[in-house]
Amino acid sequence: MGNLNEQWRLIARPDDEASVDHFEVSESEKPVPGDNEVLVRNLYLFIPPSMRLWMNEKESYFPAQQLGEVMMGITLGVVEESNSSDLEVGTYVNGMGGWQNWFVTQSDQLQPVSPHPDIPLETYRTVLDVQGLTAYQGITEVCKPKTGETLVVTAAAGSVGSLACQIGKIMGAKVIGIAGGAEKCDWLTSECGIDAAIDYKSENVAERLDELVPEGIDMIYENVGGPIMDALLDRINDHARIALCGLISSYNGGGVQSTTSLNQIVIKTARIEGFLVRDYMHEYERVIPILQDWVLSNKLKYKVEVIDGGISATIGAMSNIFHGRNKGVQLVRF
Ligand SMILES: NC(=O)c1ccc[n+]([C@@H]2O[C@H](COP(=O)([O-])OP(=O)(O)OC[C@H]3O[C@@H](n4cnc5c(N)ncnc54)[C@H](OP(=O)(O)O)[C@@H]3O)[C@@H](O)[C@H]2O)c1
């Protein structure tokens, strides 16, 4: 790497999955911080499914990625040079560092990270960061579980889903997870301690739901959408709560939702609520220590998959997510 800053710029918008052809790679001198600025070296790039949505022309919850600009990316880095009295050299920081080795920014654009000595650093860009906050707020503020109620979580072995499952359990719910493959389902039941898991790739989801939750579904933590969500909505109870966290099955284009199943929202006087973690950032300082305590006491299990290979590994890491090849939260190490 030397002192050259490798940068990946989006030059074409993908219709389906992103590939190297949608990017231009350049190298320039390491940037120099100005007054009150800091220079950050990116250590990890977090790979959320929604990064694919940022590449579309239509804005998502972020303004659309501009063509020709360095690709946006959620990073964990270290301050290498500082002209700011707020951040010392050597401080770990979370930020929007993008697909590049270094970036320069104001200190108020960064969130300092102070890792607990018994928890790996990368956990602070995943579980003990927005993923954890998303799961916690979706369960506690949108689903609002009561003891003994039934909760079904989709993409249940994913980073948000697996945390949502376990937080649901901690809150006293009966929890069913839906995930792809026996290995992921075993991990959810044996390690994460949920009541049952459905392998949507080899099992009939509707039939298994009838077996596992004959009493009906009180809460859905929805990450996927499409036919799986239809099968869940068909089985909701009166006053069910549906936390619409994401619809990953549609992110590469396509995706169909049945209006018949949506009609269940009316018939069951249910509440479906889309939510974004950015609306809960004011809870960050309160919630992350709770999650950290659960991690330390082994109440919250998680898997972080660190992928080596630098920025070029990002495309493969994104593809892993959309094909369920990821085993936990994915981070690319720069
Ligand atoms: N609302 C918010 O503020 C917020 C914040 C963060 C994330 N999210 C959303 O939360 C969801 C999960 O994100 P994450 O970071 O936890 O993802 P993740 O850990 O990367 O897991 C994604 C998983 O989704 C499953 N999947 C992918 N394509 C699928 C499809 N077509 N049908 C069914 N399952 C599919 C795969 O698991 P299988 O092997 O089980 O198929 C994959 O491993 C996404 O929809 C994301 O956009 C929302």
| pLDDT tens by residue, 312-329 | 999 999 999 999 898 888
Candidates 147, 239, 213, 154; CA nearest to 188 is 154
Work out the pLDDT band at 163, boundaries 50, 70, 90: very high
- Residue 174: the pLDDT is 98
**Ligand 1 center to 111 CA (angstroms):** 25
Residue 328: partners with Cβ closer than 8 Å, 6 or more residues away: 157, 159, 162, 302, 303, 304, 305
Ligand 1 pocket test: which of 321, 330, 331 has the largest number of ligand atoms within 8 Å of its C-beta?
A: 321
Is residue 122 within 8 Å of residue 331, measured between CB atoms?
yes
Is residue 132 in contact with ligand 1, taking CB distance under 6 Å?
no
Is residue 39 within 8 Å of residue 18, measured between CB atoms?
no
- Residue 326: the pLDDT is 87
CB-CB neighbours of 145 under 10 Å: 22
Is residue 73 in contact with ligand 1, taking CB distance under 6 Å?
no
Is residue 321 in contact with ligand 1, taking CB distance under 6 Å?
yes
Residue 146, CA distances (Å) to 150, 184, 200, 219 in order: 9, 27, 27, 10
Is residue 87 in contact with ligand 1, taking CB distance under 6 Å?
no
Dump pLDDT digits (tens) for 13-27. Answer: 999 999 999 999 999
Task: Name the residue type at position 241.
Answer: R
Is residue 33 within 8 Å of residue 16, measured between CB atoms?
no
Q: Give me the chain's average pLDDT, please.
A: 95
**Ligand 1 center to 224 CA (angstroms):** 6
Is residue 249 in contact with ligand 1, taking CB distance under 6 Å?
yes
Chain-centroid distance of CA 268 in Å reads 30
Answer yes or no: is pLDDT of 1 > 60: no
Is residue 137 in contact with ligand 1, taking CB distance under 6 Å?
no
Dump pLDDT digits (tens) for 175-213. Answer: 999 999 999 999 999 999 999 999 999 999 999 999 999
Percentage, residues of the chain above pLDDT 70:
100
Residue 192: partners with Cβ closer than 8 Å, 6 or more residues away: 162, 165, 166, 169, 177, 301
**Using CA positions, which residue lies closest to atom 15 of ligand 1?**
48
Residue 204: partners with Cβ closer than 8 Å, 6 or more residues away: none
Q: Measure the CA–CA gap between 279 and 150, rounded to whole angstroms.
A: 26
- Residue 61: the pLDDT is 81
Is residue 119 in contact with ligand 1, taking CB distance under 6 Å?
no
Dump pLDDT digits (tens) for 220-276. Answer: 999 999 999 999 999 999 999 999 999 999 888 777 888 888 899 999 999 999 999
Answer yes or no: is pLDDT of 136 > 80: yes
Ligand 1 pocket test: which of 52, 205, 223 has the largest number of ligand atoms within 8 Å of its C-beta?
A: 223
79: burial class by Cβ within 10 Å (0-12, 13-18, 19+)? buried
Is residue 159 in contact with ligand 1, taking CB distance under 6 Å?
yes
**Ligand 1 center to 134 CA (angstroms):** 12
**Ligand 1 center to 276 CA (angstroms):** 14
Domains of the chain in start order, with CATH, are 4-126+302-333 (3.90.180.10), 132-277 (3.40.50.720)
Residue by residue, what is the 3-state secondary structure of the chain? CCCEEEEEEECCCCCCCCCHHHEEEEEEECCCCCCCEEEEEEEEEECCCCHHHHCCCCCCCCCCCCCCCECCCEEEEEEEEECCCCCCCCCEEEECCCCECEEEEEHHHCEEECCCCCCCHHHHHCCCCHHHHHHHHHHHHHHCCCCCCEEEEECCCCHHHHHHHHHHHHCCCEEEEEECCHHHHHHHHHHCCCCEEEECCCCCHHHHHHHHCCCCEEEEEECCCCHHHHHHHCCEEEEEEEEECCCHHHCCCCCCCCHHHHHHHHHCCCEEEECCHHHHHHHHHHHHHHHHHHHHCCCCCCCEEEECCCHHHHHHHHHHHHCCCCCCEEEEEC
Dump pLDDT digits (tens) for 272-324. Answer: 999 999 999 999 999 999 999 999 999 999 999 999 989 999 999 999 999 98
Write down the pTM of the prediction. 0.94
**Ligand 1 center to 11 CA (angstroms):** 26
- Residue 246: the pLDDT is 94
